[in-house]
Structure 1
């Protein structure tokens, strides 16, 4: 039997590893674009390469801004490609730029535009101050060519090369001569209290020729650049070789003129396939070994918990149940005052453990049963949404190439999964003996989503005030409300209708009319210590993975390892279930039958550790400054904590619900 279980575990692990291979980056069916030289193009082959620009962000500020806010060169015929819901919610603002290239036509030091700032002009002073602020906070450009980020590749420690999907707009040397951020790359950036604008870029576009592949033209497989600061005085005849860097003094005492230029070269490389053109970016992120360490760490925790649960189920409970049920008929004493067939074991065999003594109270409805059922309904909705989203991402459907697809998928799934939320909430509320079904349905549909939307709306107000590109347009907010009230709420009503229509969940034992008195509990079996201890092991499974997730959200690093994330998600489900079952068994043995809320809060307390870790991450890893950025960070963190609380609490509750029903249905005590 053990060999079969071990083989099954290995088989499942191998299948998950195969399907969740982190090489599945691309959305299946994403069509490549072919490029041809000028004069040889057609409908199936483009000749012009359009460079798009995205929002600018910084690790020192939560506030992203649109490209145009910094007074960079604008496209004469500006156009914005259509954006999905996820891109809008993440604050992405993609637009065309004046950087346009002809395929295989190299350009050298071509001027784009000149920006002049006149001393004494208030409008120019405001624009220049905003540009300085961007350099001071190390705001990063994000450029896109053929739906692929233009990267800045540079050497890091141990001779490794890191390819950053963004590059700074400039850098700053402080008043005491300390070079900040990118200013360390050039010894000429040494003037105190001076800003250096990266106004020139050397772009290299690598393509794969289709001459031997059976398709016309060529396909772009890489786009890299190197930012430079070069002072040009003549826009008509710019010189991009040598010269002094483009300085912007800290004090605006004289006119400033910034000439933006670029150079572009094309390089053929047929060894890089189009389907793997993101590899050079992802390989430069050295996280694989750490990820496997996280998986092994989590598996050890799961094996430890599984061993303890197996010991309880196979040894302790098995002996208790066997001793209880194998009492001979002749040793049973009939109660003369009872009209029913109630029996008690003989005194010699009557050594019941604590969990059997509370059989008449273990299914007594909990206090605040409506609130618990509402939480469980929303938790079920979130759990199913998370599983499907991660599974699709693991298969490659929600790759980085398909921008905003992850958030769009999550929102759409949540809206469509209102029926399970209403069904679970209604069924449990009816089992608890509740009768206010209208209130239950309304709270299920509105309470938790309302809290999230209120928090989100307040954060959006701050973004509006700050003029950030992450501010959601009013039309999008109306669309979100329409999805919520037009689709999710009606589906919740439908689920609740079927949930109330079905009979209450049948309990294996009857509940006594008079509650049993709970004996004095030890410190470790009291509610608060047990709940606090219950969230430690599940959090231990995820904290390494959590570091990379927070990096992708707040440090703007690319996250693509959904295979690892899906494995950790499965391990988290198992750990929450087993930890809650263990503590539930210990509390029942201590004759404490209040397990309904405790099972939910035990695994749900993992969210509190998540919040503590987020606070630690804020103060130790991030360099965020400013009151607005701080409020935004903790505001969005609270949304994440609430969602995680509902998810983990629901998993622990249903695991404990199954466990309690299982053991008392086997014993069949009345």
Structure 2
């Protein structure tokens, strides 16, 4: 059995390094393992190692190698210890975990991924963890007696084999020209955990940034408030429409106010309608990708525990759902009487992925300049380009072609040729920015666990709950503010509805910046650039997603509202 070496990761920096970027024991020839697309995106670099043992053969301590440190290697070890780097390993596709000590003996064990490279004492002395004590759990089939690995744990120790302190070995310090023995011990334990359930303990990975009670509490508060707002608004609309459709006299029929007055302008195409169609089409593609990922994950077709599998499935779903993006763009663009459908379709297929691709390339160059093992190899970048141009692009055009062939979405009222003058509006920008606060509150408590999941080997699994409430809050907030806008005789709701819901991304970036300066211990330029680069991509996704949700909510509201009244 061979333990595979993976990357070095740290909670203090976004840079992942090769396991052999520091002078660990290494084989004569380093061989890279075959990886899926998701593992590559996560920065995994799985390679062979010198840690090998036989199934069922326990060992207390065996020498892996003897290493002599010099000034350069000492500096490298100290830097990694200061940054809190953890070394990650894999056995039979199971990541190495380290149990965390808890005060509650009855609670389930909590794990952390990877073992610490070393530690530093208060008197500025550095010690390296040079002994690994593996615990390999296996489940034995009662019929075939076959053994299958269901757990891979380790404890890391610092042991100076040349010096004893009382009856124990002293910890191994890092000094110039120090000879260090790297050793390993293995203990095999039979477990009742079946092979199908071996990933369950990994869902208990320790992460002090996941606070379940605040998350559920904030979600319940938001739902209660929005339920009250929805009930009040529904009653008001019902009473207004009933009074408008059944006037007591002819004079009352002409005493329309508020949103009734703008019925001849409410469906007037907006400025930059082409860009709006492209943004909505892209958002619909992202929305479909996220929804299908959550549904397939809930049904068991996609497992977040499969290393790199979730990320791979997300990218493939995005490429396949290019059809939905092109179709929704075409339906809206035809409603606006657009004619340049080829140009608009090409923008839909290239604008957002092109922007994200450029950011990724810049981050890749930054990682490469720092010597990190995070950058994507050129052949993998080529794979992404193939998915983009050979899969997503044709499907966007196919969806667009079918969408343009269908009849346009008819407005329930006639639009005048001469636009109505809009009364002077106050605090329009304020209302837009206010609309993004509640969706931001929904993702507030899950922002950084999500980011940690994306940029490091964490396992996170509450996306479905957050997605449902995010959709509900974006829909109801946008509908409420859209109705207020129409009541103020402002019929320019197209872009307003998109920006109102999408403004939550602005708060996301502001809070990420605040968190960077107050919570994170990042002092170097490269990790800072990577952090803000990842956050920029996350904010772009959130902006397009929530903006599209808010737009379609307001679009449906206006159609239902004006098709429910008798225009005199």
TM-score normalized by the length of structure 1: 0.80
SS of the counterpart of 2:52?
strand
2:165 matched to 1:226?
no
Residue in 1 aligned with 2:133? 202
Give 1:156 deviation, angstroms: 4.2
Q: Contact 1:508 / 1:668 at 8 angstroms: preserved in 2?
A: no
Give the 3 Å change call, closer, same or farther, for CA 495–277 of structure 1 in structure 2.
Answer: closer
2:430 matched to 1:529?
yes
Q: Distance in 2 between matches of 1:289 and 1:546?
A: 10
Residue in 1 aligned with 2:520? 622
2:15 matched to 1:89?
no
Q: Distance in 1 between matches of 2:384 and 2:487?
A: 48
Give the 3 Å change call, closer, same or farther, for CA 551–74 of structure 1 in structure 2.
Answer: same
Give the 3 Å change call, closer, same or farther, for CA 215–353 of structure 1 in structure 2.
Answer: farther
Q: Distance in 1 between matches of 2:169 and 2:208?
A: 40
Give the 3 Å change call, closer, same or farther, for CA 421–280 of structure 1 in structure 2.
Answer: closer
* 2:409 aligned to which of 505, 510, 514: 505
Give the 3 Å change call, closer, same or farther, for CA 283–135 of structure 1 in structure 2.
Answer: closer
Q: Contact 2:327 / 2:402 at 8 angstroms: preserved in 1?
A: yes
Give 1:365 deviation, angstroms: 0.7
Residue in 2 aligned with 1:325? 245
SS of the counterpart of 1:101?
coil
2:381 matched to 1:460?
no
Q: Distance in 2 between matches of 1:308 and 1:171?
A: 54
2:289 matched to 1:380?
no
Give 1:223 deviation, angstroms: 2.5
Give the 3 Å change call, closer, same or farther, for CA 421–279 of structure 1 in structure 2.
Answer: closer
Residue in 2 aligned with 1:558? 458
Q: Contact 2:210 / 2:449 at 8 angstroms: preserved in 1?
A: no
Alignment: residue pair count: 566
Per-residue CA distance 1:358-379 (angstroms, 9 max, x = gap): 0011011101111111100100
2:454 matched to 1:540?
no
Q: Distance in 2 between matches of 1:286 and 1:116?
A: 36
Give the 3 Å change call, closer, same or farther, for CA 349–433 of structure 1 in structure 2.
Answer: closer
2:214 matched to 1:301?
no
Residue in 2 aligned with 1:335? none
Q: Distance in 1 between matches of 2:336 and 2:84?
A: 56
Q: Contact 2:112 / 2:206 at 8 angstroms: preserved in 1?
A: no
SS of the counterpart of 1:262?
strand
Q: Contact 1:580 / 1:652 at 8 angstroms: preserved in 2?
A: yes
Q: Distance in 1 between matches of 2:58 and 2:379?
A: 43
2:266 matched to 1:362?
yes
Give 1:97 deviation, angstroms: 1.2
Residue in 2 aligned with 1:163? 111
SS of the counterpart of 2:3?
strand
Structure 1 spans left out of the alignment, 5+ residues: 1-48, 119-124, 179-191, 332-345
Residue in 1 aligned with 2:10? 58
Residue in 2 aligned with 1:188? none
Q: Contact 2:209 / 2:449 at 8 angstroms: preserved in 1?
A: no
Per-residue CA distance 1:613-646 (angstroms, 9 max, x = gap): 2223323332222000001100111011101100
The two structures, once aligned, show a CA RMSD in angstroms of: 2.5
Q: Contact 2:133 / 2:184 at 8 angstroms: preserved in 1?
A: yes
Give 1:607 deviation, angstroms: 1.0
Residue in 1 aligned with 2:69? 117
Q: Which moved more, 1:624-633 or 1:350-359?
A: 350-359
User: What aligned pairs does 1:365-444 form with structure 2 within 5 A after superposition?
Assistant: 365-444=269-348
Give 1:348 deviation, angstroms: 4.2
Give the 3 Å change call, closer, same or farther, for CA 399–64 of structure 1 in structure 2.
Answer: same
2:550 matched to 1:665?
no
Q: Contact 1:422 / 1:441 at 8 angstroms: preserved in 2?
A: yes
Q: Distance in 1 between matches of 2:38 and 2:494?
A: 37
Q: Contact 2:269 / 2:336 at 8 angstroms: preserved in 1?
A: yes
Q: Distance in 2 between matches of 1:78 and 1:349?
A: 83
* 1:594 aligned to which of 467, 483, 492: 492
Give 1:165 deviation, angstroms: 1.6
SS of the counterpart of 2:187?
strand
User: What aligned pairs does 1:192-271 form with structure 2 within 5 A after superposition?
Assistant: 192-210=123-141, 213-232=142-161, 242-249=168-175, 252=176, 255-270=177-192
Q: Contact 2:365 / 2:375 at 8 angstroms: preserved in 1?
A: yes
Q: Distance in 2 between matches of 1:627 and 1:287?
A: 26
Q: Distance in 2 between matches of 1:168 and 1:288?
A: 19
Give 1:53 deviation, angstroms: 1.4
Give 1:293 deviation, angstroms: 4.8
Q: Distance in 2 between matches of 1:399 and 1:77?
A: 33
Structure of higher CA gyration radius: 1
SS of the counterpart of 2:51?
strand
TM-score normalized by the length of structure 2: 0.93
Give 1:390 deviation, angstroms: 1.7
* 1:517 aligned to which of 421, 432, 455: 421
Give 1:504 deviation, angstroms: 2.4
Q: Distance in 1 between matches of 2:148 and 2:72?
A: 42
Per-residue CA distance 1:442-463 (angstroms, 9 max, x = gap): 2111111111111110000001
